[in-house]
Amino acid sequence: MVESAVAFAAVFFDLYGTLLVYGDMERAWADWLAALDDGLLALGSPVDRRRLEAACEGFFGRPEPRPADDGLTVYERRLAQLCATLGVSMSAVDLGALATRTVAAWQRQIPLDREAEPVLASLHRRLPLALVSNFDHPPHVRRLLEESGLARHFDTIVVSAEVGVKKPDPSIFAGPLAQLGVVAAEVAYVGDSPEDVTAARGAGLVPILVARPGGPSRAEVSDFRTRSDVASRPEATPAHVVSSLGQVIPLILES
C-alpha cells in the first residue's frame, strides 16, 4: 500500500531490526544463556545448567515485573525474578553486572546496518530525528548509541523502559512529538515489526516498514527458545514497505 505524498516534518526510527540487523539469533540466545551461566558462577551462585535452561523458557514472554522504586531496570527486575526462582540472592550491583554481561553477549549477533549511519546523517541534515525503541534495559541502548556514533543524529531518544510505555501502545510517541513540536501526520516512523506499524498508525504517524528478505522469525528474535507465534497480534498496514534502509531516503526527501 502506497499512500499520498506527505511533506515530512520529522522522522522517527525504531532500533532493533531497523537500524540494527538481526543475525544468527539461535547463536545470540545461546550466547545469552552461556553469559548468564558464567555470570552466576562469577558472582558465586552457580546453577545447574539444565535447571537454568528450564527456568529461562519464555523468559521475556512472562508478564513484566511491576514497577518499583528500586533503581532497577525492567530487565534487571526480570533477572531478579529468575534468580529468586532459582533460589539465588542478588544485590542490585550484582544484578547490574549480570544484566550488562548477558545483554552484551546477545548483542554480538545484532550488528549495525551498514546503511544506518549514512541514512541518519543524510536525513538529519534536513529534518529532526527521534529514536523510539522498546527495550527493557535502557543503559545498554544508550551506551550502544554512543559507542556506534548514532546518538549524535537524534534530537531525542525514547526507550520504553524509561517512560513506562511500550509499543504497540501509541502513547509512546507523545513525548517526542511534543519535544520536537511536530504534528503526527507529518512524521514518518521507520520500523520492522507489526508492533511498530500498529503503534504508528494509532498515533497518526506514517509507518514505513523495513522488510529485509530472509530475516529471522519473530519467535527467534523475541525470546529464549520460544517457538510460539509472537507475531499473532493484529497487523496494521504500513504506508510504505522497503527492503533496505537506503530506500527510506527518497521516500522522505522526495515526497
103 and 132 belong to one structural domain? no
Last residue of a domain, one of 47, 81, 107: 107
pLDDT tens profile 114-151: 999 999 999 999 999 999 999 999 999 999 999 999 99
CA dist., res. 133 & res. 16, Å (int): 8
Where residue 175 falls among pLDDT bands split at 50, 70, 90? very high
Query: Is 80 exceeded by the pLDDT of residue 190?
Result: yes
Instruction: Give the CATH number for residue 220.
Output: 3.40.50.1000
Q: Report if residue 1 sits inside a domain.
A: no
Residues 96 and 194 grouped into a single domain? no
Residues 88 and 123 in one domain: no
Whether residue 230 is predicted with pLDDT greater than 70 in this model: the reply is no
Same domain (yes/no): 115, 194:
yes
End-of-domain residue from the set 107, 141, 168: 107
**Same domain for 222 and 131?**
yes
User: Which of the listed residues 74, 107, 140 is the one where a domain comes to its end?
Assistant: 107
β-sheet bridge partners, residue 133: 159
Domain that residue 178 falls in: 10-23+110-253
In a domain, 175, yes or no: yes
- At residue 11, the pLDDT reads 98
Q: At 73, is the pLDDT very low, low, confident or very high (cuts 50, 70, 90)?
A: very high
Asked if residue 5 belongs to a domain, the reply is no
Residue 22 has pLDDT above 50, yes or no: yes
- Is the pLDDT at 234 greater than 60? The verdict is no
Assess whether 136 and 239 both reside in one domain.
yes
Based on the fold, state whether residues 242 and 118 are members of the same structural domain.
yes
- Per-residue pLDDT, averaged over 30-56, amounts to 96
Backbone angles phi, psi at 249, to 5 degrees: -55, -55
Specify the pLDDT at position 218: 78
Residues 239 and 114 in one domain: yes
CB 182 within 8 Å of CB 11 = no
Residues 136 and 246 in one domain: yes
Q: Are residues 138 and 78 in the same domain?
A: no
- Give the mean model confidence (pLDDT) for residues 149-168: 97
Kindly report the average pLDDT of the chain as a whole number: 93
Residue 122 belongs to some domain of the structure: yes
Contact indicator for 253, 123 with CB cutoff of 8 Å = yes
Same-domain pairing of 207 and 242: yes
Evaluate whether residue 143 is within a structural domain: yes
Q: What's the pLDDT score for residue 113?
A: 98
Q: How many domains does the chain have?
A: 2
Same domain, 57 and 153: no
Global pTM value: 0.93
Position 2 in a domain: no
Looking at the domain assignment, is residue 90 inside a domain? yes
3 belongs to a structural domain: no
